[in-house]
A and B are shown apart, each in its own frame.
Chain A
Amino acid sequence: MSLRPLYVGIDLGTTNSTAAVFDGEKVTLVRNSAGATLTPSVVRIDARGGVTVGAKARRFLENDADNTRSEFKRLMGTAQSLDFKAAKTSKKPEELAAEVLKSLRADIKEHLGFVPSRAVISVPALFELPQSAATSEAARMAGFEKVELIQEPVASALAAGWSADEKAGSWLVYDLGGGTFDASLLETRDGLLRVVGHDGDNFLGGRDFDAALVDWVLQEVERTQGVTVSRANPKHAAGLRKLKLAVEEVKIELTRATEASLVLSGALEVDGVAVEIDLVVERSTLEAVTSALVERSIEVCKRLLAAHGLGPGQIGRVVLVGGPTVMPALRARVREALGAPFGAGLDPMTLVAQGASIYAATAGLDARAEATMEESGRRVWLQYPAMSSDLTPHVIGRLVDAGQNEGVKIRLSRNDGLWTSPDVALDEEGAFIVTLDLLPRRPNVFKIEARGANGKAIALSPSAFTIVQGMTIADPPLSRTVGVALADDGVRVYFARGAPLPAKRTFTHHTVESVARGSTECLLKIPIVQGELAQAHLCRLVGSLEIGGASVKASLPAGSAVEITLELDRGGHLSARALVPALGQIFEQVAHLLVPDASPDALDATVTAMRGRITELRADAMSRNAERTIGRLTYVECALLDAERETQAARGGDADAGQKARRTLLELDGMLEECEADKRWPELESRARRNLSEAGIWVGQYGSKSEQMLLEEAAQAVEKARAERNAVELQRQLRVVNNLYNACFQRHPDAWAWMFEDAASEADQATDMVRARTLVQSGRKALEKRDMDALRGIVQDLWKLLPVSAQKRRLGHDSGVR
Chain B
Amino acid sequence: MSEASPVGTNAIDRIRDNPFYVLGLRPDATRQAIERQGTKLLGMLELELKSATSYPTPVGRAARTPEKVRAAMAELREPSRRLEHEIWARLEPEAMPAAPRDVAPIDDEIAPRAGQAADPWPDAFVALGWRAGR
Interface residues in chain A, defined as those with a beta carbon under 8 Å from any beta carbon in chain B: 189-190, 192, 194, 381, 383-385, 388-390, 392-398, 427, 429, 431, 433, 474-475, 477, 498-500, 502-504, 507-508, 561
Contacts and interface: CB of A to CB of B under 8 A. Distances in A.
B73 interface: yes
A433 B41 CA distance: 11
B22 interface: no
Given A389-B35, A390-B32, A192 B77 contact: yes
Most buried by B among A192, A396, A499, A503: A396
Given A390-B32, A500-B73, A398 B49 contact: yes
A396 B44 contact: yes
B131 interface: no
Given A398-B49, A474-B38, 8 more contacts: A190-B31, A390-B36, A392-B36, A394-B40, A433-B44, A474-B70, A502-B67, A507-B10
Contact of B39 (A394, A397, A398): A394
A429 B50 contact: yes
Contacts of A477: 74
B36 A500 contact: no
Contact of A194 (B10, B39, B70, B78): B78
Contacts of A508: 10
A396 B10 contact: no
Ranked nearest first, the 6 interchain pairs of A and B with the lowest CB-CB distance are A383-B43, A500-B74, A396-B43, A394-B40, A398-B47, A500-B70
Interface string B69-85: 01101100110000000
A189 B32 CA distance: 10
A385 B44 CA distance: 12
Contacts of B50: 429
B78 A504 contact: no
Interface of B: 1, 10, 31-32, 35-36, 38-40, 42-44, 46-47, 49-51, 67, 70-71, 73-74, 77-78
Contacts of B70: 474-475, 500, 502-503
A503 B77 contact: no
B32 A194 contact: no
Chain B, interface SS category: helix
A396 B45 CA distance: 10
Nearest to B52: A396
Nearest to B10: A507
A383 B47 contact: yes
A393 B44 contact: no
Nearest to B2: A581
B71 A393 contact: no
A628 B38 CA distance: 48
A508 B2 CA distance: 14
B44 A383 contact: yes
A431 B44 CA distance: 9
A394 B36 contact: yes
A504 B65 CA distance: 11
13 contacts: A383-B42, A383-B44, A393-B36, A394-B39, A396-B40, A396-B47, A429-B50, A474-B35, A474-B70, A474-B77, A475-B70, A502-B70, A504-B67
A426 to B, nearest CB: 11
Contacts of A397: 47
Nearest to A428: B50
Contacts of A385: 39
A433 B31 contact: no
Contact of A383 (B10, B46, B51, B74): B46
B7 to A, nearest CB: 13
Contact of A499 (B38, B51, B74): B74
A189 B74 CA distance: 14
A475 B46 contact: no
A347 to B, nearest CB: 29
A475 B74 contact: yes
Nearest to A435: B36
B67 A190 contact: no
Given A381-B47, A396-B44, A503-B71, A498 B78 contact: yes
A498 B74 contact: yes
A396 B36 contact: no
